[in-house]
Amino acid sequence: MARIIGGVACSHTPTIGFAHDKHGSDDPVWGPIIQAFAPVKAWLKEQRPDVAIIVYNDHVTSFFFDHYSAFALGIGERFEVADEGGGPRDLPGAAGHPALAAHIGASLVADEFDMSFFQDRSLDHGCFSPLSVLCDHADGWPFPIVPLQVGVLQTPGPSARRCWKLGQALRRAVESYPDDLRVAIIATGGLSHQVHGERSGFNNTEWDAQFLDLIVNDPVRLTEMTVAELATRGGYESAEVVMWLVMRGALSANVTPRHQAYYLPSMTGIATLVFENHATPPSAAEARLHLDHVERETRGLEALEGTYPFTLQRSVKAYRINKFLHTLVDPQARESFRADEAVAMRGAGLSDTERDMLLRRDWRALMHYGVIFFLLEKLAAVSGLSNLHVYAAMRGQTLGEFQKTRNAPGAVYSVSGREDAVAGKVPRT
């Protein structure tokens, strides 16, 4: 079974990346930042985690307010470095761990956390600013990551208590994963700072010291604090320290601090902490009980004949082709597809297998591959076909044969907004 080997807590201000990229550990002003991270880097190198769960918040880079979630879990195969306005930092992208992420996602949902899931979104300084000084990366990062984005920028957002409970649920998820993985949890953000308004530049070193003591010795006390209290004591943006409670909640009650440092160079109190975990692993029976709990809602779906639930695993596997078909909601993309399907598909980087299924309109094969039906109906509409053509093809029937099984046997319809878009054509497969 997987186990959590320990936790890391650290600030994620872009100042950290600036110190790494422009200065060295000998610089009198910026060097202490690098020095504070050095023991954490050494601990990670010594412990050799197989994967790291990184709890961070995006800074309106890859997540915008058209859809802003409390908790969003990265389930993709790879995460690139975000461009935050002046070009991305010269860092390699990070590999994901889709299998562990899917298990964590299912476990958190079973524990009544209404998660969002993301792929194909780059990660900004909330993740890569600290990661760049935590690990050597000239030849790539030493472990894959599972990013967990916490929506702390817009209120109402997750409370300290909710983040603590998420950490406890995260522990249950990791410890019930069947593979033998060494998992580190890295929480980022804080400490005291405010970057907007007339209070910009606010710091409170006394509160920072108290917070560091509480996160080690009495984290439950922190869960009783409101976001307003945290903002009052540490500055508005510093309330992001609720993310540290995700990490702390995932650890045992008693932990051994292996390192602690604090430095205030400019706008943000920069802190680093390392916790060694002392959790007792669950018994095989306890792990099985939790897996039964995770699988309860979906158990039996696999036995439904001719039914293909759109799981997180299918979402990752077929992401590229689903993303391509989703572009068909854009009029310009539709016209490009109609003008030359082969060119459009090659431009999207689709595999030979994916292109072949689409060119033949092999609805059944596309469904088995992992394309969700609601994108197949968009492809049908662009192709001048009705939904009923697709339904019939999935059942291995002609349109006429399928229509005879309906109470409205002459009906032909699609999701197209134009009445003349469905020409009653026969599907290719």
Annotated catalytic residues are: 125, 193
Cα separation, 405 vs 384, whole angstroms: 23
Name the one residue in this structure whose structure tokens are 């060097």: 31
Instruction: Tell me the C-alpha to C-alpha distance, in Å, between residue 160 and each of 104, 164, 247.
Output: 20, 6, 12
Please compute, for residue 401, the number of CA atoms within 13 A of its CA located in the half-sphere on the CB side: 10
Is the bond leading into 123 cis (omega within 30 degrees of zero)?
no
> What is the edge-to-edge ordering of all strands in the sheet holding 116-118?
116-118, 71-74, 145-150, 51-56, 182-188, 3-10, 270-276, 256-263
- Identify the helix (H) or strand (E) that includes residue 213: helix 205-217
Structure tokens given for 155? 């209120």
Q: Which residues of 128-147 are buried (b: 16+ CB within 10 A; e: fewer)?
A: bbbbbbbbeeeeebebbbbb
Q: DSSP string spanning 114-177?
A: --EEE-S--B-HHHHHHHHHHS--TT--SS-EEEEEE--SSSS---HHHHHHHHHHHHHHHHT-
Structure tokens given for 330? 């854009």
Largest CA distance in the chain: 81
Burial class (CB in 10 A: 0-12, 13-18, 19+), 201: exposed
Give the residue from 339, 341, 187 showing the smallest Cα distance to 271.
187
How would you classify the pairing of strands 182-188 and 51-56?
parallel
